[in-house]
Amino acid sequence: MMPGYETALFHRSGMPLSRSRQALILLVPVALTLLLVLVQPTHKPELRALAPSPVPVSPAQRVDLYPEVQVSGHLQPARRAWLRFEVEGMVAERRVEPGQVLAAGDVLLVLDDRDYRDAVIQAQADLQQAEQDLQRDRKLLKLAERSRKLQEEEVERLNRLGERSLASKTRLGDSSALLAQRLSEEARLRSSVTTGPQRVASRRAALDRAQRNLERCTLRAPFAGRVNQVLLEAGDYAARNQKAAQLISEQLDFSAQVRGAEARALTLGQQVTVSVEGHSYQATVTAVQPDPDPKTFTHAMRLRLPPAETRPGAVAVARLPLQALKQVLVVPATAVLLDEGGAFVFRVQDEHLQRVAVQLGARVDQQQVIVAGLEEGARVVVRDVAALADGQAVIPEALQTGS
């Protein structure tokens, strides 16, 4: 023992411990060490292998898939038109209000038409005058032709007498001048008769135009529908081509924007299911925009709904069929493990798992298309793949139908 060591051990009370107690304190750690050496196991423990786990498996198989996509849209009137007056004037009558149902041809607004009625009367008078002038000129032309023939005979007679008499020569000159007048009058009348039908046609066209303008003083519904807006009141001045009223049809269309693959799978006349607030309808494809919008790169489409649906503005969902996938290799979607940016499946080979990288295609409902990495007929684990490991021993169990 080192000199002065015994002075370092003291009782709690500050009194130094006796030598026997000091020896006892030193022997306790030594005894514990010997005890641990004596009780240590003679053989190293061995890790037991885990018992094989039962896993549900299903073979990869080739099937025909008919994918569909759900597209949200809204219902809108199949026809919507802003009605405008083609003439101007004061509004004399307003016969409709928003929400009113109209048949084709029903009157919405009427302009004061007195000036247009006067224009029709004036055009009728001009047409009658042109027709009467043509009839008169035809009669005068016949008289002028007869008078010209008589004058020609007189000139010919005087020519024969002129060789024997000086007086006959004088009369011949006068008759020749008169014949020239007859020819000029006949030519004028012939020209008037020739152009007369054109003048009559022009007056008739003016009358037709005046009658159309008179009819345009009445604004009528071009198709059966419901009044949506009326912008003019009685007493307002309606300018030409000014918006007067809006008419919408009660037939509705489903309108939406779709991607290129969805647009290419649609054909005009095709039947598509549309759901509106729990009700399903068979709608008909009426329009598909072939060239996409340059800003959104989507295609506008419309589906015509049956007359039973009458709620414009309602939100609806359409189930659009996509291009069919023929004889593609599929596995259940739950068999795919997405890890580290890749896709994997666990293939069962000799009661052990093999983690296989695969290339995915489209997913259709609960079926996942495998493009590459897996062969037809390979058995793959279909559930709880996140808890599995490569090389793990398993007991494959065939997946029961409906499980």
Q: What is the pLDDT of residue 42?
A: 64
Instruction: Assign a CATH topology to domain 55-65+326-398.
Output: 2.40.420
**Coil, helix or strand at residue 163:** coil
Q: What is the overall mean pLDDT for the chain?
A: 87
pTM over 0.85: no
The count of other CB atoms within 10 Å of the CB of residue 132 is: 11
Joined together, the tokens standing for residue 382 give 């279909």
Q: Does residue 95 have a pLDDT over 60?
A: yes
Residues 320, 303 contacting (CB under 8 angstroms)? no
Q: What is the pLDDT of residue 5?
A: 43
Average pLDDT of the segment spanning 235-256: 95
Q: What is the pLDDT of residue 291?
A: 94
Tell me the per-residue pLDDT of 338-355, one tens digit each, with 9 for 90 and over.
988 899 999 999 889 999
Residues 373, 354 contacting (CB under 8 angstroms)? no
Stated length of the chain: 403
Average pLDDT of the segment spanning 47-60: 80
Element (H, E) at 106: none
Tell me the per-residue pLDDT of 105-145, one tens digit each, with 9 for 90 and over.
999 999 999 999 999 999 999 999 999 999 998 999 898 88
Tell me the per-residue pLDDT of 210-230, one tens digit each, with 9 for 90 and over.
999 999 999 999 999 999 999
Helix%, strand%, coil% for the chain, nearest 5: 35, 35, 30
Interhelix angle for 114-161 vs 166-215, to 10°? 170
Instruction: Assign a CATH topology to domain 81-107+220-248.
Output: OB fold (Dihydrolipoamide Acetyltransferase, E2P) (2.40.50)
Instruction: Assign a CATH topology to domain 252-321.
Output: Elongation Factor Tu (Ef-tu); domain 3 (2.40.30)
Q: What is the pLDDT of residue 6?
A: 43
Residues 380, 58 contacting (CB under 8 angstroms)? yes
| Dist CA 162 CA 238 (whole Å) | 79
Nearest of 336, 331, 325, 333 to residue 376 by alpha carbon: 331
Helices (H), 239-347: 260-264
> What percentage of residues in the chain have a pLDDT greater than 90?
59
Tell me the per-residue pLDDT of 357-392, one tens digit each, with 9 for 90 and over.
999 998 888 999 999 999 999 999 998 899 898 989
